[in-house]
Amino acid sequence: MPAPRAVLLLSGGLDSYTAGALMRERGFELHALSVLYGQRHAREIHAARAVAADLGVARHIELEVDLRRFGGSSLTSDMPVPVDRAIVPDEIPSTYVPARNTVMLSLALAWAETLGSSDLVIGVNALDYSGYPDCRPEFVAAFEALARLATKAGVEGRPLTVHAPLQHWSKAQIIREGQRLGLDYGLTHSCYSPPAEGRPCGRCDSCLLRAAGFAEAGLPDPLMNR
Amino acid sequence: MPAPRAVLLLSGGLDSYTAGALMRERGFELHALSVLYGQRHAREIHAARAVAADLGVARHIELEVDLRRFGGSSLTSDMPVPVDRAIVPDEIPSTYVPARNTVMLSLALAWAETLGSSDLVIGVNALDYSGYPDCRPEFVAAFEALARLATKAGVEGRPLTVHAPLQHWSKAQIIREGQRLGLDYGLTHSCYSPPAEGRPCGRCDSCLLRAAGFAEAGLPDPLMNR
């Protein structure tokens, strides 16, 4: 029997890399989708390509959807990215991109249906995170319910599953799992606002969460030793 | 008090035109979104522009999202569009585009959130239709539930509403309502597969549903008198 196919949303960060590796370990054939939504940290696509190659995905699609047309986020407009912020789970920062995960899961759903895949994978987690509403377990569950109604597969009795294997893990747990899986986090990119020379800024939410995760895991971040 | 804003998914067909006119009558300021998803009937964008102008929308965004990358539909690939088909509600034809309405509503949601709008509008109806799963009332309700969890607005107690004012209407009822509203259906485009000279084919599902609707309403189709 051929391996079941899963569509993985792949950003180039460490979460989606780890989520993909876990699904590969569970026997899925990975099809990776990276959405170029106009994010200011567009260079993460280079990381996504490196990660896709390392995961040995069957195919990697890079799809452009220009969310800058709508604005409303410091990641898709000229608003400054906040730095050195105390991350409070109940506060939604300006780096929140309206409906981003809804848009990306919808696109993954479209591809899954044409692939005959019943499995979507997203690397969200709602423990060490920036408070984005579309990273929470109730969001993931609602998308899964929608997906079962939205598709021919769902109507025909092949319901979709949205896998969010990191959902309840801390960043340190994710990183330790990555070590177990032999992942090279030096391939990844997390910074929201990389300076011109390409080094992580070390001060945006994403850099702060990453640094705290490596510290708590008691491991060095390979990106910082370069 | 300024008029509340609504984001209208506008295809250039008669349903979204009528849905928009109804919402305008209810006092909403319309912001129209047309998604260029690689449909073979790409000329419907010209109709969308004419309809947007006629509706007097505050803004019209045309956004490209190339669903041909995923294929899987006769509207987004080289598969032939079926003609002269007996339309059976329980059968999903090849013109079904996987997850199309999920993708389009997600994009409308993204824009609505940046506009401070709590109202999305979609012209789906599930009576005289092609059996697409993402036109059914349960799909619309599931998207609304998702939207309330997916967004900052939802978290902050400003829940989104998905308006599908034509949901339970026949095509003839829609056309009669359009007549009451003074709409010019000569501006619209319905055909999935227009021949080179630009006349509707008269044989695809969309043409057949349109023709039956005008016949049942006892009105001439202005597109056919040109």
Closest chain A residue to B106 measured between Cα atoms? A103
Domain locations along chain A: 5-221
Question: By the CB < 8 Å criterion, does A157 face chain B?
Answer: no
Measured CA distances, A28 to A121, A179, A225, B44 (Å): 11, 20, 33, 40
Euclidean distance between CA atoms A103 and A98, whole angstroms: 9
Residues A205-226 have a mean pLDDT of: 90
Cβ-Cβ contacts under 8 Å, B111 against chain A: 69-70, 98
The C-alpha atoms of residue A58 and residue A4 are separated, in whole angstroms, by: 12
Query: Cβ–Cβ of B149/A155 closer than 8 Å?
Result: no
A196 contacts: CB under 8 Å, gap ≥ 6: none
B36 inside 8 A of chain A by CB = no
Cα distance from A182 to chain B (closest Cα, Å)?
31
What does the pLDDT average to over B148-171? 91
CB nearest to A155's CB, from B113, B133, B149: B133
Give residues 181 to 210 of B whose Cβ lies within 8 Å of A.
none
Instruction: Determine whether the interchain pair A61/B71 forms a contact, defined as Cβ–Cβ distance below 8 Å.
Output: no
Mean of pLDDT values over B90-107 = 90
Q: Does B162 touch chain A (CB under 8 A)?
A: no
The sheet with strand A29-36 has its strands ordered as A59-64, A29-36, A5-9, A119-121, A161-163
Q: Is B100 on the interface with A (CB under 8 A)?
A: yes
A102·B138 Cβ contact <8 A: no
Q: What CA–CA distance (Å, rounded) separates A214 from A200?
A: 15
Count of CB pairs separated by less than 8 Å, A with B? 142
CA-nearest residue to B105 within chain A is A103
B75 pLDDT higher than 80: yes
Instruction: Say yes or no: B176 contacts chain A, CB-CB below 8 A.
Output: no
DSSP string, B62-93: EEE--GGGT--STTSSSSPPPBS----TT---
Subunit contact B99:A151, Cβ cutoff 8 A: yes
Instruction: Kindly indicate the confidence band of residue B10, based on its pLDDT and cuts at 50, 70 and 90.
Output: very high
Q: How far apart are CA A124 and CA B199, in angstroms?
A: 48
Residues B7-16 have a mean pLDDT of: 96
Average pLDDT over residues A117-123: 97
A137-146 core/surface letters (b: 16 or more CB in 10 A; e: else): eebbebbbbb
- Mutation to test the A interface, candidates B96, B106, B130, most A Cβ within 10 Å: B106
Mean pLDDT of A29-41: 91
Residues of B in contact with A65 (CB under 8 A): 63-65, 107
pLDDT band for position B128 (cuts 50, 70, 90): confident
Pick the residue of B36, B61, B114 with the most A CBs within 10 A to test the interface with A by mutation. Answer: B114
Q: How far is B224 from chain A (nearest CA, A)?
A: 33
A98/B152 Cβ within 8 A: yes
Overall average pLDDT of the B172-192 stretch: 96
Q: Is the pLDDT assigned to residue A30 strictly greater than 80?
A: yes
Instruction: Please state which CATH number belongs to domain A5-221.
Output: 3.40.50.620
A56 burial type by CB count under 10 A (0-12 exposed, 13-18 middle, 19+ buried): exposed
User: Cβ–Cβ of B102/A106 closer than 8 Å?
Assistant: yes
Average pLDDT of the residues in A82-90: 78
Nearest-CA residue of chain A relative to B141?
A146
Contact assignment for A65 to B107 by CB distance below 8 Å: yes
Which residue on chain B is closest to A72 by alpha carbon?
A: B114
Alpha carbons within 13 A on the beta-carbon side of A199 = 7
CB A76 within 8 A of CB A40: yes
Summarize pLDDT for A186-202 with one digit per residue, the tens: 999 999 877 656 788 88
Span B43-60, average pLDDT: 95
Q: Which residue of B has its CA nearest to A94?
A: B152
Return d(Cα A196, Cα A30) in angstroms, integer.
33
pLDDT grade, residue B3 (50/70/90)?
very high
Residue A99, chain B, CB below 8 Å: the answer is yes
The whole-angstrom separation of Cα A59 and Cα B60 is 35
Whether the full predicted model's pTM is greater than 0.90, yes or no, is: yes
Residues of B in contact with A152 (CB under 8 A): 92, 96, 98, 133
pLDDT band at A100 (very low <50, low <70, confident <90, very high): very high
Domain B5-225 CATH assignment equals 3.40.50.620: yes
Q: Which of B103, B90, B72, B38 is nearest to A143 (CA)?
A: B103
Say if the Cβ atoms of A147 and B110 lie within 8 Å: no
Q: What are phi and psi of B66, to 5 degrees?
A: -85, 90
Task: Give the separation between CA A46 and CA A63, rounded to whole angstroms.
Answer: 14
Instruction: Give mean pLDDT, residues B53-65.
Output: 97
ipTM over 0.90: yes
